[in-house]
Structure formats: C-alpha cells, structure tokens
Amino acid sequence: MSDPSQPSSSPVQHAIELTKSIIPPIHPGGRPFVFGAIGATLVVRLLSRRVGVLAGVFTAWLAWFFREPKRVTPQRPGIAVAPADGTVSHVIEAVPPAELGLGDTPMLRVSTFLSVFDVHVQRSPATGQVMRAVHKAGEFLSADLDKASEVNERNSLHIHTADGYDLAVVQIAGLVARRIICQVADGDKVTAGATYGLIRFGSRVDLYVPAGSRVLVEAGQRTIGGETVLAELPAGH
C-alpha cells in the first residue's frame, strides 16, 4: 500500500519518469548538433511538410547517435571494463603510445571498433587518476585498420588505477570521425564506467593493459562500454 502521507505522482509525472528511463540522455558534445537540427527542421517544415518529416527523422537519428545510456559497472578489484561499445577488432601485444611515457615494453591491446550504430561515448576502464592526457594530430584512415593505432588522430590517457595498475586508453578518429572530445586532463580522478569523452561519427578505442593480464574477449565479440569486463589484471602486480 502507498503511504497516504506522500503525495501520489500525477499521470504526467509518471509519463515523464517513464520516458526518462527509456530514452537515454544526450551527451553534451552532441547537443549543438541536435539543437541545430531541431531548428533546421522547424524552418524546413514551414517550406515543405514532406521534407520536414525527413528532417525530423534525421534529427531523431542524431539524438539517438549521441545518446549516453546509463550503465551498471562491475565493482570488483583488479579488472578493466570496456571503454566503449562496439566490436572487438584486435587483441594483440603492442607498445602503448609514446606520448604517454609508459616505455617500450609491450602491453596487451584490446581494440574496439565503433560503427555509426554504436554508442559513441567513452568510459573510464577503471577507477584511478589520469596521469597524462595527450592529443596527437594525424591521419583519418579507416579505424578498423591495425595501423590506425599509430597514424590516425588520437587522444591518449594514462590512468593509474586505485589498485596500482597502469592502463592506457586511446580514442582514435576514423574515416568519418573528425572530432575527438576528451573531458578529463592531467591529475583528474576518474571512476570506472564514468563517461570521459566522445568521438563523433565512427571511430575506434584501444585499451592497453599490463602484460600477464587475462583478456576475456576475442576478436568479433561485442562489448558494452562500462559493463563488459575486458581483462582481469595480473595478481601481485
């Protein structure tokens, strides 16, 4: 039974709360595009209803593309969660980006390719502190190519986790992606699963974990950013 001392919510309030639980919010980096598209749609609709409908569909797609759904992140220690939604394209040994100063010792790299249908926000793979955040200009090759990790435009983070591990997570631009947004800087604290950035329109995200980690995914598998555990980090590191 409901508490008679508490006011019951109106049908309108209930509908609003239900809508919020179904429709994810829009990442701030995508709002200018969505609001601009809404304005353009209103203008176009005055000129042509048919074209206005098409513009409305495109606006709805933009809002969906820039969605930032809530995620439930595993909290057990010694793990690294997926920094992005997408498909695992590579699991190999590779040296982390030189600009992070992590040395020449190879780490395990899990690369995730994001299509235009995936959520495009990036999430911290673990709780810790950003030791270094570096943006590097480069090319815009197809993000599913292995060499895209080295030559494409990217934004790299070195995260020292609360458990004492050093991780690297790299946002990589692709053929269509021309804008990388990173909301954290050197010294910032990050929480596992929390959003820290966005890549606009098709991209790739690389996660580097220490050698000896147990990678739990393989090429071709789908990941859910902030929820899928990509690796168990080596004990006694």
Are 132 and 103 in contact, with CB atoms under 8 Å apart? Answer: no
Q: Which is catalytic among the residues 89, 111, 149, 203?
A: 203
Residues 195 and 2: their CA atoms lie apart, in Å, by 36
Active site residue 203: yes
Cα distances from 105 to residues 92, 98, 108, 163, 211, in angstroms, run: 13, 11, 10, 20, 9
Give the integer Cα–Cα distance in Å for 219 and 113: 10
Residues 138 and 172: their CA atoms lie apart, in Å, by: 10
| H helical segments located in the chain | 11-22, 31-47, 49-65, 148-151
Give every strand in the sheet of 121-123, ordered side by side: 121-123, 195-199, 180-182
94 pairs with which residues across the strands? 107
180: number of Cβ within 10 Å? 21
What CA–CA distances, in Å, run from 179 to 2, 105, 146, 192, 210? 50, 30, 20, 24, 29
Residues with catalytic annotation? Answer: 203
